[in-house]
């Protein structure tokens, strides 16, 4: 007979270990999100080029390097969606510069006849400055892409930019049919949005930003459940579904679901980020599934890179092996601790002040 006292102890230890892991992950997530939003670090990183192992997950700093990366992926039957990295666009000049850069990428994709389209973020094109200004920038881009029969995906950012981004999509769709967007499964409103935009090409993701419990699911279980629900519905009723995830459980579920429901391969594709689970990307393409790699490029890489670490702090081991040894990992741990302590102290002060 098993010793009940011992197994209860074991159970408690396992519970404690999971709780500890959960707390460490939550602290690291906050830490990296904090870094991603740090304007000073973002500006500094631009000057120094791809560092800290970012070259493993960013395809290049300029268009020609990026075209070379796309050609390599195309050679394996993988198509690409290209993202001109950019954060913190607060003035019109920067937004116009970003627009010009994206127009040049469209031209380069066309000239080199590579299999690729564009992903862009409304905030980079002036959404935080002026809605109409942003809409006009997007119109110019979508019009140019349309002339080359190229698709434009509007990436989704945080909650405050969600509705304006859908409004832009609705406005653009009055003139163009080569535009689509992203549905983030962590939002309570995701199902309603997906049904409203079901006739668009939609990318479905879990969601990358830190959102409050008033608007978004917080636990992995709830997010995964909603993610699967949305994917299944859109595969059955939508126009074209891009399933963007590195989660093998979700991918295996989708493979079974499309087979059981006779959904043809040309109704959907899998998407992953450049440099992540490359073996699985190649394998899915070899198995005959449509596969599209999200290819970020440019010198504004820091925020993107930090968000990837926030999503999955283990990426730190995968990505920056050559830079981070045990000592630097410990230093990051200490910095994260100090960062959180700072935030809690600030919160405490604010509370005391309110009182």
294 binds ligand FDA (CB under 6 A): yes
Is residue 203 part of the annotated active site? The answer reads yes
Q: Which stretch binds ligand FDA (CB under 6 A): 12-20, 87-95, 311-319, 346-354?
A: 311-319
- Beta carbon nearer to ligand FDA, 123 or 327: 123
Sign of torsion, CA 27 32 33 35? Answer: positive
CA 327 distance to own-chain centroid: 29
29 lies in the binding site for ligand FDA (CB under 6 A): no
Q: Is 168 in the site for ligand FDA (CB under 6 A)?
A: no
CA distance 139 to 154: 12
If the CB atoms of residues 151 and 209 are measured against ligand FDA, the closer one turns out to be 209
CB 19, min distance to ligand FDA, A: 17
Write each residue from 184 to 203 as x if it is in contact with ligand FDA (CB under 6 A), else as -, in one continuous string: x-------------------
Report the nearest approach of ligand FDA to the CB of residue 350 (Å): 28
The rounded distance, in Å, linking the Cα atoms of 303 and 263 is 37
Least distance from ligand FDA to the Cβ atom of residue 189, Å: 14
Please select the residue that binds ligand FDA; options are 182, 194, 202, 295, rule is CB under 6 A.
182
For residue 200, give both structure tokens.
């668009």
Q: Which residues contact residue 49 at a Cβ distance below 8 angstroms, ignoring those fewer than 6 apart? A: 61, 299
Q: Which of 61, 165, 226, 245 touches ligand FDA by CB under 6 A?
A: 245
CB of 91 to ligand FDA, least distance (A): 24
Which member of 56, 83, 128, 203 is catalytic?
203
Buried b (16+ CB within 10 A) or exposed e, 48-67: eebebbbbbbbbbbebeebb
Q: Does 275 bind ligand FDA (CB under 6 A)?
A: no
Q: Which of 56, 83, 128, 155 is catalytic?
A: 155
Note whether 267 and 240 are within 8 A (CB): yes
CA distance 118 to 42: 23
Segment near ligand FDA (CB under 6 A); pick from 17-25, 104-112, 126-134, 309-317: 309-317
Residue 155 annotated in active site: yes
Residues 103-162 that bind ligand FDA (CB under 6 A): 155-156
Binding flag, residue 207, ligand FDA (CB under 6 A):
yes
Among 161, 246, 253, 255, binds ligand FDA (CB under 6 A): 246
List 67, 141, 204, 244, residue binding ligand FDA (CB under 6 A): 244
- Tell me how far apart the alpha carbons of residues 169 and 196 are, in angstroms, rounded to a whole number: 12
Using the minimum distance from each CB to ligand FDA, give the nearer residue, 135 or 272.
272
Active centre residues (catalytic): 155, 203
Name the site residues for ligand FDA (rule: CB under 6 A): 155-156, 182, 184, 205-209, 244-247, 271-273, 276-277, 294, 311-312, 315
């Amino acid at each position: 007979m098993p010793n009940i006292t011992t197994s209860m102890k074991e159970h408690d230890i396992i519970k404690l270990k999971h709780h500890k892991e959960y707390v460490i992950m939550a602290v690291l997530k906050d830490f990296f999100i904090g870094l991603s939003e740090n304007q000073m670090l973002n500006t500094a990183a631009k000057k120094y080029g791809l560092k800290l192992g970012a070259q493993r997950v960013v395809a290049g700093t300029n268009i020609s390097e990026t075209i070379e990366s796309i050609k390599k992926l195309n050679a394996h039957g993988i198509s690409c969606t290209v993202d001109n990295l950019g954060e913190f666009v607060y003035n019109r000049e920067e937004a116009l510069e970003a627009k010009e850069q994206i127009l040049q990428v469209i031209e380069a994709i066309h000239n080199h006849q590579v299999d690729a389209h564009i992903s862009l973020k409304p905030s980079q094109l002036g959404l935080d400055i002026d809605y109409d200004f942003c809409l006009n920038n997007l119109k110019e881009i979508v019009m140019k892409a349309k002339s080359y029969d190229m698709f434009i995906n509007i990436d989704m950012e945080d909650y405050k930019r969600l509705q304006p981004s859908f409004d832009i999509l609705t406005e653009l769709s009055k003139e163009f049919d080569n535009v689509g967007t992203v549905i983030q499964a962590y939002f309570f409103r995701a199902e309603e949005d997906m049904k409203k935009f079901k006739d668009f090409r939609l990318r479905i993701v879990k969601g990358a930003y830190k959102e409050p419990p008033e608007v978004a699911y917080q636990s992995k279980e709830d997010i995964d459940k909603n993610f699967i629900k949305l994917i299944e519905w859109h595969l059955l009723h939508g126009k074209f579904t891009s399933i963007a995830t590195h989660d093998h459980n979700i991918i295996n579920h989708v493979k079974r679901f499309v087979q059981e429901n006779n959904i043809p391969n040309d109704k959907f594709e899998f998407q992953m980020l450049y440099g992540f689970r490359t073996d699985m990307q190649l394998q899915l393409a070899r198995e005959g599934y449509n596969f599209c790699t999200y290819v970020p490029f440019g010198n504004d890489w820091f925020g993107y890179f930090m968000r990837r670490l926030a999503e999955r702090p283990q990426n730190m081991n995968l990505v920056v092996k050559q830079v981070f040894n045990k000592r630097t990992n410990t230093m990051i741990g200490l910095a994260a601790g100090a960062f959180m302590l700072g935030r809690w102290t600030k919160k405490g002060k604010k509370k005391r002040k309110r009182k």
